[in-house]
Structure 1
Amino acid sequence: MTTSKVFNDPIHGTVELHPLLVKIIDTPQFQRLRYIKQLGGVYFVYPGASHNRFEHSIGVAHLAGELVTALRTRQPELNIDDRDVLCVQIAGLCHDLGHGPFSHMFGTFIHKARPEKNDWEHEDASIEMFNYIVEHHLLEEEDEEMKLRPIDLTFIREMIKGWSPEDRLPGDTLPEGRPDKLFLYEVVANKRNGIDVDKFDYLARDAHHLGIINNFDHHRFIKFARVCEVDGQKQICTRDKEVNNLYELFHLRYTLHRKAYQHSVSNIIESLITEAFVKADEHIQIQGSGGKMFTLSEAIDDMEAYTKLTDHVYEEILDSSKPELTEAKNILKKIVDRKQPRCLGERKLTEEFQRRWVKELAGCQKDGLKAEDFEVDIIKFNYGMKNKNPIDKMRFYNKRTPEVADKLPDDQKSDFHPTRFSEQLIRVYYKKTDEASVKKAYKFMENCKKQWPNPQETE
């Protein structure tokens, strides 16, 4: 049997993975993740954001194993076996196989290029890519320790997609993979409250590469995690004293969105790349199974073609001499020449404020300014559950009764914690980049701001 392998990771240190995980890592479908930026267009703003989906996926697999093993050791009555641990690790390893070029940006491109696919998510492609790996690289395995049973494959697919009892409709059945161990579905993609090892890794990894301080300690969460029965269902809970650590988790998420993920420059750059991909879509041909050719947006329908699709398509368009790609190429040249639209400013969004802004821009026809040269973007920030507090979905136990978990009592809630969990900004860009026009646009916006009420007064 192939031995396990050791990886040296900047976030988790020495990481040792099971031979079956190593076999998956060694496939072209997983190696492809080396060439897909974790943060997409953020790299154009933060030079350190050069990390890829490859190392993130290995990190999630490692943390998945750490959490499940800790639960198994702490609570042997849960009957977590070796195969459970292995399946959870594989789900962590494969959960991002379906990301396309520039990660989440590619989903936006698919929705624009193929409106009939407006419900497409990268998790769907992750499952398809995992199926491809199983069919082409794992089915011939004869070693019983390395062979996944059909029920295991179902379990892994269910964990990649994510499951929550709150999503169940009347008549829905429980997941097939591990219906007697539903708490395992909360490890990789926790649909109940968003507290999972995927988030633990990407927040720590992104903060590290962006140079942003991370005050959340995932080691403490793993240390105090227990499975308790809540309303007749077993779920992963933590100590009551760990509530402040969890608030640090979601505050870090907000901070990264505010400073990086929704940065005004990276957002407009991703918008330009998306526009270029739409223009280039039908002119990019990728060979898939059976020699069939697929366009950029059609590649998600064939995993052999999708395996060949990475961030390199950006350079393919930019360096192309094909006349039919000229329009897309010129859009990308704006990024290379740093001639992307300028952000004129942003303000907290209220309905009244939005109406005034849109009305002013629509009527902008003076001093050489035109309404079509402005672009309005609505930016949303939250703690991961829209306007709800995800901590309210977590259950806590205390050291005297570790088998009982409930909501955190009001007398244990700090007054320093936030009371609102979502906000929206309206952001305005100006498409022309010559200094004279930009100065006029800035002046116009400043005059508008002086005439408009403070957004706080309209609430």
Structure 2
Amino acid sequence: MDRSQKTQIADPIYGTVGLTEVEIDVIDTQVFQRLSNISQLGVVPFVFPGAQYTRFAHSIGVCHVAGKILDSIRETPGFEELSDESWEHEWQRYRLAALLHDIGHYPFSHAYEQALKRANLGEHGDHEQIGGMVLKYDEELKSVLEQHGYEPESISAIFKRTNLKDVSTRLKDIVSSGLDADRLDYLRRTAHYTGVPYGNIDGEYLISQFQLDGNGDVCITNRARLTADHFLLSRWFEYQQIIFHHTVQAADYTLEDVLIHLIGQFEEFECTRESVREKIQDGSWATFDDAKVMETIRDLKDLPSEDLEMGDDSPPPEILKDKCSAILDRKLPKTVFENSRFRDCEKRDGRPLVDDALDELADDHNLNRERFYLWTNTYSFTKISPGSKRELDHVLRIGEPVREKHDVSEKPVSEVIVNDSEAVTSLLADKERFRWRLYVLFPDDWSGERIRNKKADIRKSLLEDYLHKEEEEVIAEGADS
């Protein structure tokens, strides 16, 4: 394998990114070029108009970062398990896994995955599983990898986090973990394109501090403890400000509803595992992208209501058309009320009590229940709490720097960051933010003044008739604790 970089490309985050021959050949395949038409941030541009970067650009960035992390790990004293030739092969294999980690994303990515779950019309896979299918069944990509000496399944095992016989995946945390090449690129790239600064982390220093601990686990040195804290906090704030922005979530919910209709009424959008396999094998997966979804939504909007094919679970035709207009013309559901509070991770009370009253609330205001949407979100700083007995996989670990003077039997073992008493994260890890919002999609032909008046009426009803129950629940929760 020739590790030398055959091509250099300009990147707004890293300046110059080098690519090897096999990486160039992979990028040139139709199934990878498809990622140029899959937005990384979905509907985020509804609020942040500069957030227009693709999974194509992100994937190249992740490949670049993964290579730098691998170079850092190679410098760990005592890391002599692989010959230079074997290491070069592994270096390229993990870079390929990073390059291909998003190859299985549906159009509009996570919104489509959520729509498939809600539609519940057959067995479907998440994007990692679909990515494994792409590497297995796409003949062009498979041929490229095999010609360069790489078994496709040994690459997908890394981003799927599976263990195959005779295939090492112990460095998989480089590609998928609490602190990995994926998140390091995503945070910085999203900060750059949205103009929101929370993702401006010290990525180069974090990369330089990756190592293997005495057990061979991927970790970062404790010299980067504060930088790791900053990374986790930045990710939390970036999600709060961007992904969970009230307008972004309004657009996301509306798109999911329209996607559910497409999945139920059009065979090409069904996306069971079997139908996805057929798409990959016949080549149509390469054109199954955001543009195809948007084109179909435009067709739905322009169809007369009487010509729409409606399923048992479809909203009334006029509401479906309003949801299409919401996406195409940015006439999105309006936030009527929202609430937020921090709480202990152990005390989860689920959806707000007002959820039980939405049918009545819709009737009171002479609006179809399909126009009401209750969004809830629970988001913590880390995946596990201090002292957690959960499987300690896919988490950020910190350890004492490995030095030449360490005896093999005395090499330091890393610790999960939430159990490090010196880490700020340890103080925050058992808390989470619980938020909920009530949205209403008002009829497309309503005037702005009529919408404002109706929003005020619904909010007044919530405050007077329902939300005092929420307050009583919070007080009771505090008393119990």
TM-score, normalised via structure 2 length: 0.78
Deviation at residue 281 of structure 1 after TM alignment: 3.2
Deviation at residue 255 of structure 1 after TM alignment: 1.2
Q: Partner amino acid for 2:235?
A: R
Task: Say which is worse superposed, 369-378 or 439-448, in terms of deviation.
Answer: 369-378
Deviation at residue 310 of structure 1 after TM alignment: 0.5
Task: Say which is worse superposed, 271-280 or 10-19, in terms of deviation.
Answer: 271-280
CA 413–255 in structure 1, closer or farther in 2 if over 3 Å, else same: closer
- Whether 2:186 is the aligned partner of 1:202: answer yes
Greater RCO, CA 8 A, separation 6+:
2
- Whether 2:143 is the aligned partner of 1:139: answer yes
CA contact (8 A) 1:49 1:210 kept: yes
1:297-342 deviation digits (Å, cap 9, x = unpaired) = 3552321222211001233123325533794554211233333221
Moved beyond 6 Å, runs of 4+? 140-143, 349-353, 388-392, 399-402
SS in 1 for 2:337: strand
- Which residue pairs with 2:204 in the alignment? 219
- Which residue pairs with 1:374 in the alignment? 372
1:270-309 correspondence to structure 2 within 5 Å: 270-281=252-263, 284=266, 294-298=268-272, 299-302=275-278, 303=280, 304-309=283-288
Q: Partner amino acid for 1:196?
A: D
Give % identity.
Answer: 21
CA contact (8 A) 2:159 2:176 kept: yes
CA contact (8 A) 1:28 1:307 kept: yes
Deviation at residue 83 of structure 1 after TM alignment: 0.5
Task: Say which is worse superposed, 407-416 or 216-225, in terms of deviation.
Answer: 407-416
Task: Say which is worse superposed, 71-80 or 238-247, in terms of deviation.
Answer: 71-80
- Which residue pairs with 1:60 in the alignment? 62
Deviation at residue 199 of structure 1 after TM alignment: 1.0
SS in 2 for 1:395: strand
- Which residue pairs with 1:440 in the alignment? 457
Aligned equivalents of 1:414 and 1:352: distance in 2?
A: 26
1:95-145 deviation digits (Å, cap 9, x = unpaired) = 100111111111112223344326x21111111112244x324537897xx
Deviation at residue 184 of structure 1 after TM alignment: 1.5
Aligned equivalents of 1:377 and 1:123: distance in 2?
A: 26
Aligned equivalents of 1:386 and 1:444: distance in 2?
A: 39
Aligned equivalents of 2:176 and 2:425: distance in 1?
A: 30
1:220-258 deviation digits (Å, cap 9, x = unpaired) = 12212211123xxx1112221311111111112211221
- Whether 2:471 is the aligned partner of 1:453: answer yes
- Which residue pairs with 1:348 in the alignment? 340
Q: Partner amino acid for 1:318?
A: I
Aligned equivalents of 1:394 and 1:428: distance in 2?
A: 38
CA contact (8 A) 1:379 1:424 kept: yes
CA contact (8 A) 2:46 2:330 kept: no
1:179-234 deviation digits (Å, cap 9, x = unpaired) = 4xx531221113xxx2211111111111221112234222112212211123xxx1
- Which residue pairs with 1:364 in the alignment? 361
Q: What are structure 1's unaligned runs of at least 5 residues? A: 164-173, 286-293
CA 81–444 in structure 1, closer or farther in 2 if over 3 Å, else same: same
Deviation at residue 53 of structure 1 after TM alignment: 0.4
- Which residue pairs with 1:247 in the alignment? 229
Aligned equivalents of 1:353 and 1:385: distance in 2?
A: 18
CA contact (8 A) 2:378 2:433 kept: yes
CA contact (8 A) 2:191 2:200 kept: no
- Which residue pairs with 2:313 in the alignment? none
CA contact (8 A) 1:111 1:117 kept: no
CA contact (8 A) 1:4 1:18 kept: yes
- Picking from 232, 236, 242, the partner of 1:260 is 242
CA 453–185 in structure 1, closer or farther in 2 if over 3 Å, else same: same
Task: Say which is worse superposed, 59-68 or 366-375, in terms of deviation.
Answer: 366-375
CA 197–421 in structure 1, closer or farther in 2 if over 3 Å, else same: farther
- Whether 2:343 is the aligned partner of 1:337: answer no
Aligned equivalents of 1:203 and 1:95: distance in 2?
A: 16
Task: Say which is worse superposed, 274-283 or 263-272, in terms of deviation.
Answer: 274-283
CA 201–455 in structure 1, closer or farther in 2 if over 3 Å, else same: farther
Q: What is the root-mean-square deviation in Å for CA atoms of aligned residues?
A: 3.2
- Picking from 219, 224, 236, the partner of 1:237 is 219
Aligned equivalents of 1:13 and 1:48: distance in 2?
A: 19
- Which residue pairs with 1:91 in the alignment? 97
Aligned equivalents of 2:101 and 2:295: distance in 1?
A: 27
Aligned equivalents of 2:145 and 2:99: distance in 1?
A: 19
SS in 2 for 1:97: coil
Aligned equivalents of 1:451 and 1:113: distance in 2?
A: 32
CA 376–386 in structure 1, closer or farther in 2 if over 3 Å, else same: farther
CA contact (8 A) 1:216 1:252 kept: yes
SS in 2 for 1:245: helix
SS in 2 for 1:183: coil
CA 352–362 in structure 1, closer or farther in 2 if over 3 Å, else same: farther
TM-score, normalised via structure 1 length: 0.82
Q: What are structure 2's unaligned runs of at least 5 residues? A: 311-316, 342-346, 444-450
